[in-house]
């Protein structure tokens, strides 16, 4: 490729001529336009410039800030919950309701060894007391079950309707519990029959499941399970329609879904 001045008096421009291997000159070929930033010889301007390094410290700083922010928010929420719970306890002094088995009347308990079935009927009376002077309890329907002492055999189930438990109030709850042809394994059937024939009687326990809500307060319902043990039952004697179970040593334990309630008397 050679450079040649323009002939003529006007203009001082120059033009480039393309010279091939034979020495003949020709106009330059149509070359593709160079890309932006590209240099002659195939080099690129971006390749010659040093690339800035990404800062890892900046990323670590952002992560630390986020962790600190979320930790602070979680601590504030926990502090609010603890403060609200403590304020509620100091203001209302909540206590668990208490339950007492007043009587358990046994109409019949029939254990059939051949088919391993159970048929029974009970009449239960329970006293429920609300010891709180500032809280009214709204009790949901109560599920009642009569069980063997080990809890393996369910001798009957019933439901007590919901009720309003007033302040410093004792409510008497009554229900009839029955089962008809309920399947029992042979080992449990033998244990039940021998317990009914013994002098001390068959050991039973009663389980009550319900939910309680404080009246007038926007609080969730709290699950309560009452387990009453120490009950001894005997089958009715010949010629008698029913027998009364021994409930003098019966004690009821109340478990709630709130630990602080379990610690209060």
Q: With a threshold of 0.95, does the pTM exceed it?
A: no
Q: Do the Cβ atoms of 18 and 25 come closer than 8 Å? A: yes
Q: Which of 104-113, 197-206, 214-223, 235-244 is predicted least confidently?
A: 214-223
When pLDDT is averaged across residues 2-11 and rounded to a whole number, the result is 50
What is the structure's pLDDT at 143?
97
Angle at alpha carbon of residue 90, lines to 85 and 94, rounded to 5°: 80
By CB neighbour count within 10 A (0-12 exposed, 13-18 middle, 19+ buried), where does 137 fall?
Answer: buried
Residue, of 55 and 75, whose pLDDT is higher: 75
CA separation for the pair 4, 11 (Å, rounded) = 13
pLDDT in tens, 15-73: 555 555 555 555 555 655 555 545 444 545 555 555 555 555 555 667 778 788 888 88
Predicted local confidence at residue 230, as pLDDT: 94
Q: pLDDT tens digit string along 156-191?
A: 999 999 999 888 999 999 999 999 888 888 888 888
Give per-residue pLDDT as tens, 115-157: 678 889 999 999 999 988 888 888 999 999 999 999 889 999 9
Long-range pairs, 249-252, Cβ under 8 A, ≥24:
250/100, 250/101, 252/98, 252/99, 252/100, 252/101, 252/226, 252/227, 252/228
**Contact (CB, 8 A) for 229 and 149:** yes
Q: What count of other Cβ atoms lies within 10 Å of the Cβ of residue 169? A: 15
Share of the chain above pLDDT 70, in %: 68
Question: Mean pLDDT, to the nearest integer, of 215-244?
Answer: 85
**CA 87 to CA 107: how far, in whole Å?**
50
Task: Between 83 and 228, name the one with better pLDDT.
Answer: 228
Residue 95, pLDDT above cutoff 70: yes
What pLDDT is recorded for position 220?
78
Q: Compute the distance between CA of residue 114 and CA of residue 97 in angstroms, rounded to an integer.
A: 43
Q: Is the pLDDT of residue 263 over 50?
A: no
Q: Give the Cα separation of 102 and 104 in Å (integer).
A: 7
């Amino acid at each position: 490729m050679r450079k040649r001045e323009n002939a003529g008096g006007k203009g001082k421009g120059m033009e480039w001529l393309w010279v091939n291997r034979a020495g003949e000159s020709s106009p330059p070929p149509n070359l593709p336009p160079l890309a932006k930033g590209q240099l002659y010889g195939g080099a690129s301007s971006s390749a010659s410039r040093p690339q800035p390094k990404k800062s890892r410290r900046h990323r670590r700083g952002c992560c630390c800030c986020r962790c600190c922010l979320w930790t602070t928010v979680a601590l504030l929420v926990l502090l609010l919950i603890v403060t609200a719970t403590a304020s509620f306890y100091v203001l209302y002094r909540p206590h668990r309701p208490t339950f007492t088995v007043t009587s358990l009347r046994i109409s019949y308990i029939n254990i059939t060894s051949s088919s391993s079935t159970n048929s029974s009927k009970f009449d239960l009376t329970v006293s429920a007391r609300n010891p709180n002077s500032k809280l009214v309890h709204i009790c949901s329907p109560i599920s009642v079950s009569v069980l063997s002492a080990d809890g393996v055999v369910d001798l009957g189930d019933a439901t007590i309707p919901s009720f309003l438990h007033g302040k410093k109030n004792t409510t008497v709850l009554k229900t009839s519990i029955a089962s008809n042809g309920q399947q029992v394994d042979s080992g449990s059937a033998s244990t039940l029959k021998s317990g009914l024939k013994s002098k001390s009687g068959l050991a039973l326990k009663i389980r009550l499941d319900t939910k309680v809500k404080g009246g007038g307060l926007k609080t969730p319902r709290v699950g309560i399970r009452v387990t009453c043990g120490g009950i001894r039952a005997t089958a009715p004697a010949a010629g008698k329609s029913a027998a009364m179970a021994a409930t003098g040593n019966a004690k009821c334990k109340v478990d709630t879904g709130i630990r602080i309630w379990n610690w209060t008397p």
